[in-house]
Amino acid sequence: MNYAVIMAGGSGKRLWPLSRRKRPKQVLKLLDGQTLLRRCFERLSTIFDTRNIIILTNAGHADVVRENIPELPFNNVIAEPAVRDTAGAVGLAATILTRVDREATMAVVTADQIIEPTEVLQQALKDAIIFVNNNPGDMITFGIQPTFPDTQLGYVKCAAGRKCPDCENEIYSVEAFKEKPNEKTAKEYLDSGQYLWNSGMFVWKAKTILANLAKFLPEATEALHRIQADWDSPNQQHTLDEWFPKLPKISIDYAIMEKADEVYAIKLDCRWLDMGSLAALADIISSDKDNNIVVAGASELLDCKSSIIVTEDKNHLIAAIGLKNMVVAHTPDATLICHIDQTQRLKELLELIEQHAGEKFL
C-alpha cells in the first residue's frame, strides 16, 4: 500500500517568540487561521487514506500535533524521544511500515513548506508512486525549479529527463546532490539549467530505504532492528526510548542520497517556500499600501513602512508609529522587536534569554 510520512520535528527557532519548544512553527495559525501542518495534511489527504498518513514529531509536540489533526488515528502520530535529524526519522518510519506491510511505498514530506499550486505537488506524488511501484529499487526526490541563485538551499543536479509510462511528469536521473553554494556557484547552477533546489521530499519503498541505510549507515541497523522487534508489543515505548537516541544524528541527504545509486527526480514548477523565519512572511502574505506585513486581529499603524507585525491573539491591538523595516512579534508572555536585517541573530538572542531566564520563555 501507499503511505505518507509527514516530518514535523522542527521547532522553528527563527520564528520565536511565536514558535516555542513546546509549540513548533508547524502549528502556528499564520495562514488565514490555518497551520502549516494542516495545509500539509490536506494536500496529502486527497491522495492517501487518512489511516495511511503518519506524522513524526518530537515527543514534546505530540499532543499539539494531535490537536491540530484530530481526524488522524492516535497511533499515527509517532513521538520521537530524541532529536536525531532526518535519517533517524526516515529509518524509524520505514521500520514501522515494513513491520505491517513489507511492500509499503512511502512518500516523505515536510510540514513547514508553502507549495502553490497544490495540484503540482499532488500530481508529482502520484507519478512518483507509480514510478517507484514499477521500479521498487529506485528512489525519487523532488526538485524545485529555481527562480534565483539562492545560497541558503541545497541543489540537485539532474541529467536529461525522460517520459515514464502512466506519468504526466518527466523523470530525471540525479547526477549529484550539492550543498549550499556561494553566490558565484549558485549563479552558475541557475545559468546551467541542470540544477533544482533540493526540496527534502522523497518517495521510495520502505524496504529500499532500509537497505540503503544498512549499506551506507550500518551503525543505525541494530537500533532499528530492536525498535521493529518490539513495535506493537508491551515493550514498544521502552525500546523506542532506549534505542532511538542511539541512532546517528545525520540528515538523510548526507547519510544516503549523496551516496546511493538509482536516484531520480521530478521537477516541481511551482511557488515553494520553506517557512523558516519571520522575514519569510513577506513571501506568503500580501502587504498593505505601505509594504507592511500584518498578521493581527487589530492593528493601527501610523507612518509605518516595510515592517512585519504579527500576533495570533485576535483580541490584542498592536499600535505603532514611525516604524521602518522593523519586526514586531507578540505573544502573551514575550514580544520580539528588531530590525528586519537583524532577524538572523535570533539564535544569539535565545542563548542570552536561556542564560538569564532559563527555559521559561523558550
Checking if the pLDDT of 225 tops 90, the result is: yes
**Which residue would you say has higher pLDDT here, 10 or 321?**
321
- The separation between the first and the last C-alpha atoms of the chain, rounded to the nearest angstrom, is 40
Closest-CA residue to 26 (of 74, 75, 77)? 77
Checking if the pLDDT of 93 tops 70, the result is: yes
Domain boundaries 2-274, CATH class = alpha beta
Number of neighbouring beta carbons within 10 Å of residue 38: 17
**Which residue would you say has higher pLDDT here, 12 or 88?**
88
pLDDT at 11: 65
Residue 265's DSSP bridge partners are: 141, 172
Boundaries of every domain in the chain: 2-274, 280-357
CA distances from 20 to 32, 69, 141, 168, 337 (A): 20, 19, 30, 41, 17
Residue 23 exposed, middle or buried by CB count within 10 Å (0-12, 13-18, 19+): middle
Q: pTM (2 decimals)? A: 0.85
- Select, from the ranges 4-13, 32-41, 60-69, the one with the highest average predicted confidence (pLDDT): 60-69
Checking if the pLDDT of 10 tops 80, the result is: no
pLDDT at 45: 94
Residue 55's DSSP bridge partners are: 6, 77
What is the four-CA torsion angle of 94, 95, 98, 103, rounded to 10 degrees? 30
Over range 144-167, report the average pLDDT.
85
Cell matching residue 320: 505603532
Express the helix, strand and coil content of the chain in percent, nearest 5 each: 40, 30, 35
Residue 240 gets the label, from left (phi > 0), alpha (psi -120 to 50) or beta, of: alpha
Closest-CA residue to 66 (of 80, 48, 54)? 54
What is the residue-averaged pLDDT of the chain?
A: 89
pLDDT in tens, 226-251: 999 999 999 999 999 999 999 999 99
Cα separation, 338 vs 285, in Å, equals 20
E strands within 59-133?
Answer: 77-80, 105-110, 113-116
pLDDT at 147: 83
Over range 213-220, report the average pLDDT.
96
CA atoms within 13 A on the CB side of 4: 24
Q: Do 216 and 143 meet the contact criterion of CB atoms below 8 Å apart?
A: no
pLDDT at 247: 95
pLDDT at 150: 82
pLDDT at 360: 85
pLDDT in tens, 199-214: 889 999 999 999 999 9
Handedness of CA 247, 252, 253, 259 (dihedral sign): positive
Residue 262 gets the label, from left (phi > 0), alpha (psi -120 to 50) or beta, of: left
pLDDT in tens, 260-308: 988 999 999 888 877 767 777 777 778 889 999 898 888 999 999 999 9
- Cell 513548533, residue? 24
Checking if the pLDDT of 153 tops 70, the result is: yes
Q: Do 19 and 28 meet the contact criterion of CB atoms below 8 Å apart?
A: yes
Q: Do 124 and 178 meet the contact criterion of CB atoms below 8 Å apart?
A: no
Over range 1-22, report the average pLDDT.
84
**Which residue would you say has higher pLDDT here, 238 or 192?**
238
Cα separation, 275 vs 273, in Å, equals 6
Cis peptide before 117 (omega within 30 of 0): yes
Handedness of CA 69, 284, 121, 181 (dihedral sign): negative
How does DSSP assign 159-223, residue by residue?
Answer: EEEE--TT-SS-EEEEEEEE----HHHHHHHHHHS-EEEEEEEEEEEHHHHHHHHHHH-GGGHHH
Checking if the pLDDT of 33 tops 80, the result is: no
Residue 85 exposed, middle or buried by CB count within 10 Å (0-12, 13-18, 19+): middle
What three-state secondary structure class fits 138? coil
pLDDT at 121: 93
Q: Do 290 and 40 meet the contact criterion of CB atoms below 8 Å apart?
A: no
What does residue 6 show for φ and ψ, rounded to 5 degrees?
Answer: -100, 120
pLDDT at 179: 83
pLDDT in tens, 171-183: 999 988 888 888 8
